[in-house]
Amino acid sequence: MSLWIDGRRSGESWHGAGVDVRDGILADVGDATRMHDDVNVATANRASASDDKNEVLNREKSGGLGFGINLHHTESLWRYRAGVDEIVAIGCDALLVVTPAWQTDGGSVDVRMESGPGRGPTREQLVELLRYGKSRGLRVGLMPTVLFTNPRGNEWRGKLHPAGGDGWALWWLAYRDVIDTFVDIAIEADVDLFVVGSELLSTEKHTGRWLDLIASVRERFAGELTYSTNWDHYHTPKFWDALDAIGVSAYYDLTAGRDNGETDGALDVEKLTERWDGIREDLSQFSQERSKPILLTELGYPSLPWGVKSPWNYVRGENVKATHEVQRLGYEAFIKAFDDLADGPTAQFRGVFFYQWDVYADGGPSDTGYGVAGKPTHGVLKRWLRDGEE
């Protein structure tokens, strides 16, 4: 697939909030405004969830074509297992489990794991879901992220600024400890891919720290490694050579500054495809320069009028209706530009994880989120992934 009301590209604040929105944490608002507020319990028994005849399609190497699933609100783990079944049914061959570590705010150094409602899974829950993905024949990745329990203003993990002269040293010690625990879990669950960090932009010039961390993980973890940076930041890290793929969180503005980018009726899939063609060319060139394939670690569109213009922003505001057509157009444009990925990885592109498979939503007029179930995008993806099958 993908978190930034503060507008990760230019620092502007979306709808006056300053939180990491795609992870579903709305500071000082409470559970009522969680991204999964449109819960429909009756959708748990979707027909495809138990359809064992939907076998995983075989694409080579870690990555492939898959969905991210955000293992965060873990009160009902069965929903996530059902979500994995649906990911198989749509034709995916890969799963990326995204789950948080926590620190107090952008200036703190208390990085740690927390479990419980609104925090994250227990170790046992995380291992269970990772193993379940493996049991369904999926190539499975694990991507820890960093969230804040008490963010201040527009803080998010891309702008960490540990306080004090030894702040960065202490932060890195805490982060290393947390990553060590996640690596233990990855090994226990036998995952194929581990993401050593996600969108920690202010750390990306700490090349020595990253090289040390990556080397430490390599000593223990036998699978593939990547790091996930932002679409406008992949030139910054100087440690790509130590990894197996260049991870890019791909929330590009497909309207390229067009004034009508927030009106679904004005959008043209061919124009959006041209934008993706240009993005692909730029990423291909970078891949060739670094002799590393690109893995799109997050790519998705909310069902909102501005979904292809500002895909990082899913906060709907008042009186904003779901616009599933915008999401469909975004996915169609990507598929047109990357159609060959359905046949397997290319020299420059390892694959893509769409963000996200929402286990708490099932489409409908109020579902403005990133999920595709119950929306036109579901059919678009299934036809592509299963070669025309409805």
In terms of C-beta density within 10 A (0-12 exposed, 13-18 middle, 19 or more buried), how is residue 289 classed? exposed
Residue reference for tokens 């616009």 = 323
User: Tokens representing 373?
Assistant: 């179930």
Q: Beta 245-249 vs 224-230: how paired, if at all?
A: parallel
Could you tell me if residue 355 is inside a domain? yes
pLDDT in tens, 315-367: 888 889 999 999 999 999 999 999 999 999 999 999 999 999 999 998 988 99
Looking at the structure of the chain, the number of domains it has is: 1
- Residue 159 counted as domain residue: yes
- pLDDT of 55 reads 61
Tens place of pLDDT per residue across the chain (390 aa): 332 222 232 222 222 223 334 443 222 223 322 333 333 333 333 333 334 445 665 555 555 999 999 998 888 899 999 999 999 999 999 999 999 999 999 999 999 999 988 899 999 999 999 999 999 999 999 999 999 999 998 899 999 999 888 999 999 999 999 999 999 999 999 999 999 999 999 999 999 999 999 999 999 999 999 999 999 999 999 999 999 999 999 999 999 755 444 444 579 999 999 999 999 999 999 999 999 999 999 999 999 999 999 999 998 888 899 999 999 999 999 999 999 999 999 999 999 999 999 999 989 889 999 999 999 999 999 999 998 665
Strand partners for 97: 69, 142
Q: What is the pLDDT of residues 251-303, one digit of tens each?
A: 999 997 554 444 445 799 999 999 999 999 999 999 999 999 999 999 999 99
Asked whether residue 12 is assigned to any structural domain, the reply reads no
Identify the bridge partners of residue 247 per DSSP, sorted by sequence position: 228, 295
Q: Are 384 and 30 in contact (CB under 8 A)?
A: no
Q: Judge residue 10's burial from the number of C-beta atoms within 10 Å of its C-beta, 0-12 exposed, 13-18 middle, 19 or more buried.
A: exposed
- φ, ψ of residue 7 to 5 degrees: the values are 70, 80
- How high is the pLDDT of residue 319? 87
| Token reading at 233 | 């930041």
Contact 56, 95 (CB under 8 A): no
Q: Whole domain around residue 294: which residue ranges?
A: 21-385
- Judge whether 1 lies within some domain: no
Query: What gap in Å lies between CA 175 and CA 169, rounded to an integer?
Result: 10
Token pair, residue 27, equals: 């500071």
Phi, psi (degrees; rounded to nearest 5) at 184: -55, -45
Instruction: Report the distance separating Cα 366 and Cα 147, nearest Å.
Output: 26
Domain presence at residue 52: yes
Within-domain flag for 7: no
From 97, 48, 88, 101, select the one nearest 70 (Cα to Cα). Answer: 97
- Give the CATH number of the domain where residue 245 resides: 3.20.20.80
Provide long-range contacts, Cβ within 8 A and 24+ apart, for 229-234: 229/199, 229/201, 229/204, 230/8, 230/158, 230/199, 230/201, 232/8, 232/9, 233/201, 233/204, 234/283, 234/286
